[in-house]
Structure 1
Amino acid sequence: MGTVIDSHFLALTAIVTVGYQLFFFIVTALLKFDKVTDFAGGTNFVILALLTLIVKGSWHFRQVVLSLLVVVWGLRLGLFLLMRILQWGEDRRFDETRANLGKLTIFWIFQAVWVWTVSLPLTVVNASNRNPSIQTEDIIGWIMWSLGILVEAVADQQKLAFKNSPENRGKWCNVGVWKYSRHPNYFGEIFLWWGIFVASTPVLENAEWLVIFGPIFLTLLLLFVSGIPLLEESADKKYGNNATYRDYKRTTSPLILLPPALYGNLPSWFKATFLFEFPLYSRNLTQESWYRSSQQGSNEQKMH
């Protein structure tokens, strides 16, 4: 991708990623042990960051900073998710795939693609011989990463504390940053990886700009495939008949953190066009219940 050495690094990271994910796939398939799934994903990013930094060996300041940011993110997320699943027990996401080798294989292939693709901006930076001085894009990218990981970490801890409280059993999380977004952890993750990309741009030339596919892939994945759609479907099935939940969903942004009073009064077309409130996030709520929820919310606002 631009230079011969880039191609070598892309091949190296692909081989390492496939090998690492294959190892954990075998463990999962043979032992029916899926508690290491998220740990395998997060730590794989750490391995690629350190591997490309060390193998290249140029230790440019930008390379070191971006590698450190990815290592911090990967270790925090991987260890947090591992501790959480060990505490909660089996991962319900794999109830249908645990005994199905075909579905399990597809999942692990997808995870390997996710790791390799999202790591592309850092891989190319660490493989590059170019070392321009620190620019505005670097600072902006580092700030974006900082804000993103802060939101993600706070959201994770708040939800964990909420779920661990016996008095919240059977309730959906709507405390802290979860008042302002139905999926603040995903917002943080998307935002920080776009920050990594922005901070990589001073190094990119020609076809290397294709690494933008990394954050795009992550964003599309969480918006349309394995992130928000699955959690929205699960929550709708559990709480869809609860008027308070429907009002929470109507007044709370699906991704971007916004005040409920503002978001709840925005027109549906605006939400769908600019704020990611896609119809697939509500397809499991009947039109009738959704209409009742909207009418109830409007009446309550008029009363206040």
Structure 2
Amino acid sequence: MNLWLQLTVLLVTMMALMTLGWRWQQRHRNAGIVDVLWSTGVGLGAVLAALTSRGAATPRCIVGVLGSIWASRLAWHLWQRVRREDEDGRYRQLRAHWRGDAWKFFLFFQGQALSVPLFALPFMAAARNPMAAFTPAVMVGIAIWCIGVAGESIADRQLARFRHDPAHRGKTCRDGLWRYSRHPNYFFEWLHWFAYVALAWASPLAWLAWSGPIVMYVFLRWISGVAFTEAQALRSRGEDYREYLRTTPMLIPWFPKSSSSNRGTP
């Protein structure tokens, strides 16, 4: 199957899924389902690439397995939050801003559907790798994938454990990885996309694999990640989160600065 046909099949599938998701959120008043469906859709892109691309069997299998495992873990984690918790503050803010306009939410869901084929491009590129052997580039890709998925899983568990303690209500998580980055889950999510750059090293479409880390960084940094998350955190946690902003690196983990409360008065 050629690339354009793969992307068209994926897009049509996602538009249908996102329409069902939009109807679900209309009933349940929880737009967080869009993130669950987005993750699921990107995983479907990996499986589609593995089944219908023209590369060697080994890279196709690796792409299908790694992409679907990553997507399944993320979708399941997000579904647990959607199922057990109230609507995320980012979506509550959108609902208030749009005054609950169903049509605007429908367009929002379809916009997410449009983004899925974009994020599936690295899978399509890697699945066209003609090299059947486990080359050094493939081993590097698998290693990056393991580090990225493990780091994201650890960060998600640390945050979930913190959030589930009622004593932490209104406070900012600084446990584990969250001491060294305000968004360690986003960092490892971004890192994970470099795996497909390595897996696509010998592919005729290798350059397309770079769309993963580049586009993901743009989305996380300026569109749907850091900006929205931190705006909501400032509304809900106020000065505690402002202190966190001052002391903790935004994305790439590094040692935090000294808290202003621990500094002497000049």
Q: How does 1:103-114 map to 2 (within 5 A)?
A: 103-114=104-115
Amino acid at match of 1:51: L
Displacement of 1:56: 4.3
Does the residue aligned with 2:193 lie in a helix, a strand or coil? Answer: helix
Aligned to 2:46: 49
Question: Could you say if the C-alpha distance between residues 129 and 175 of structure 1 is closer, same or farther in structure 2, counting changes exceeding 3 Å?
Answer: closer
The alignment status of 1:299 with 2:260, answered yes or no, reads no
Task: Show the counterpart of 2:162.
Answer: 162
CA distance in structure 2 between the aligned counterparts of 1:191 and 1:129, rounded to whole angstroms: 21
Q: Work out the CA distance in 2 between the residues paired with 1:114 and 1:194.
A: 18
* Contact 2:18–2:109 (8 Å) recurs in 1: yes
* Counterpart check, 1:254 vs 2:250: yes
Counterpart of 1:282 in structure 2 is: none
How far 1:191 moved relative to its partner?
0.5
Supply the AA of the counterpart residue of 2:77: F
Aligned to 2:66: 69
Q: TM-score, normalised by structure 2?
A: 0.86
The alpha-carbon deviation at position 88 of structure 1 amounts to 1.4
Distance 1:58 1:138, change over 3 A: closer
Greater Cα radius of gyration, structure 1 or 2: 1
Deviates more, 1:171-180 or 1:98-107: 98-107
Higher relative contact order (CA 8 A, sep 6+): 2
Q: Identity of paired residues, percent?
A: 27
Q: Which amino acid aligns with 1:197?
A: V
Residue 251 of structure 1, CA deviation: 2.2
Report Cα offsets for 1:96-134 as digits up to 9, x if no partner: 4442224313321231133211111112333x3733533
Separation in 2, partners of 1:84, 1:10: 30
- Equivalent-residue separation in structure 2 for 1:55 and 1:66 (angstroms): 12
Match of 2:117 in 1: 116
| CA root-mean-square deviation | 2.6
Do the aligned residues in 1 keep the contact of 2:141 with 2:198 (CA within 8 Å)?
yes
Aligned runs of 1:258-269 on 2, under 5 Å? 258-260=254-256, 264=257
Q: What is the letter of the counterpart of residue 181 of structure 2?
A: S
The number of residue pairs the alignment matches comes to 262
> Which residues in structure 2 correspond to 1:1-304 (within 5 Å)?
5-29=2-26, 32-56=29-53, 60-98=57-95, 99-126=100-127, 128=128, 130-131=130-131, 133-205=133-205, 209-242=207-240, 245-260=241-256, 264=257, 299=264
Change (3 A) 1:102 1:249: same
Give the superposition deviation at 1:148.
1.0
Instruction: Name the CA shift for 1:53/1:166 in 2 (closer, same or farther; >3 Å).
Output: same
Q: Is the 8 Å Cα contact of residues 11 and 116 (structure 2) preserved in structure 1? A: no
